[in-house]
Structure 1
Amino acid sequence: MEENRLLSMLTDFYNKKFIKIKLKRKGGCESYYIWSEQKKYFMKIIPSAYMDTAKQSLSILAYLEQKEFPAPRIIQTKNGLLYVEIEDMECKFFVVLYNFIDGREPEEGEDLETIGELVGRLHCLMQKYKGNLQVKGKEFFIDRYINILKKKNYAENKIKIFSEYGDTLWKKVENLPRGFCHGDLHRGNLLKTDSGEYHLLDFDTSCNAFPIYDIMIMCNSTNYFDFDESGYQRSKNTYEFFLKGYTRYCSLSGMELRAFYDLIAVYHYQLQATIIEVYGLDCVNDEFFDKQLKWLMKWQEQCERER
């Protein structure tokens, strides 16, 4: 949508004079910085296809605001709504405006115990959340990627290896305790302010899955694209420091503690499927799949040795 038109429409909906807009990131949704005459905001433009997950995210953020948890605050429209619906070229979009949080992404290894405490507090609070959460299981975490390999006409013998390892991984994790899962809890979704306070961002992928999956994403210190055996120990060290803070709020079963390394492999299936769904089948090729397969087989071998 043309920027001046968008600024004018938002001025009408929010009763604020918006004067400037700047693109931050494009993907499934678009995010922007936007300025009024008084202050700076953060804005997301969400296609209608993502609206169910977006509404879920807004409900979660409203709940967390009531609990005074440090997460983005939604700016309501002048009519008290959490989002604006806009139609452009016969396409519907939903616009959400947030207070801008001035901060920076933490460095790798920074404040792990503090971040663990924040995530533990989040998981503890969300145990009492009454809203609906989309349930995600094997189809989301494993099978989507296998289906993409088939659509790409990847070699059948290699698909078989991916599929068999995926089945093995799922048998190890399918009975893990379920509950709220942020789903994308990496350092890029944390902001540290000048005062040292952390804010947790981007709840669009929240679901009913494995809380330990959030911990794995935050503590995974492997090189995602190039296998390096030292990644196992780095991840283990990160995990141990993180848990010092996390367990002040939430306890973990032995099964959950042991699943950390298997979930790192599950993450490769889940994340690649998500990236390809967003950017299209042509964003990867057989060479990329071969490299992923080699990574996973080396990881499987190392995990068997280390345990």
Structure 2
Amino acid sequence: MRLAFMGTPDFAVPALLALHAAGHEIAAVYSQPPRPAGRGQSVRLSPVHQAAETLGLPVRTPARLRTNADEHAAFRDLNLDAAVVAAYGLILPAAMLDAPRLGCLNIHASLLPRWRGAAPIQAAILAGDSESGVTIMRMDEGLDTGAMLLSDQVALTPTTTATTLHDALAAMGARLIVTTLSQPVGPGQPQPEQGVTYAGRLTREDGRIDWSRDAAALDRQIRALTPWPGTFTTLDGQVLKIGGAALVSAPRSAPPGTILDDALTVACGQGALRITRIQRPGRGMMDADSFLRGQAVAPGTVLGS
């Protein structure tokens, strides 16, 4: 088929590579414009842009689409069979949604209608869901409301992190979109009206740890929000990033946030967490033992104060 591919982050790269390997003609790749990144703020191409250039594919990087009539016309003139969208980051107007012969197909990282929106991977872990997955959806003008074409699921375990789930769903999405396009693309199954949930955009503040919460909920927060936006607490005014933790039995009762032992076990509102990965300002993420060799934290110290 003659396709356009529209995506930006790492999540979308496996699908682009799979569609190219399957022999589809990719007439254009759309991605977010290059932006400053890193400590040096050097301008960087998005992961999809980089992959497209490696494959020798033409790349378009419009900063906006909704009122960009020139871009609407250019997209229409591609004479596409379909467009595949995966975490692109721009909303497609009706003029573009309707242009391809088979419409625009989205690779969405959830089992719709659960977790429509911007952060479905993190939302599934935060909520303690037992499973997640990918849905291939025919796009309409709503927020992830289109008809479903194909889906698959993966179990979530007590050790699932945003990173491991991201990688699993990226590979699953690549497989499902190739399967979808290898057979007649029908109208799809309308989403049920029951069970709709939304996953809003995450901010840095979502990563602040409130030690008065249940330890199991905090464990999910750390697994869901690492590496981005990251979870953090404070110690004597110093912001410490938390990269990993384990649920443990609290050896004794203490106020939430209290360090209980020499192994960075922290009392929570219910239960306790042992911090396993931590980062102080200006340093890299390290295991708790390495951290404690450089900065002693006495039992009885209270985090987040």
TM-score by length of 1: 0.27
Structure whose residues are more often helix by fraction: 1
Which structure has the larger Rg over C-alpha atoms?
2
**Bigger strand fraction:** 2
Q: Which one has more relative contact order, counting CA pairs under 8 Å at least 6 apart?
A: 1
Q: TM-score, normalised by structure 2?
A: 0.27
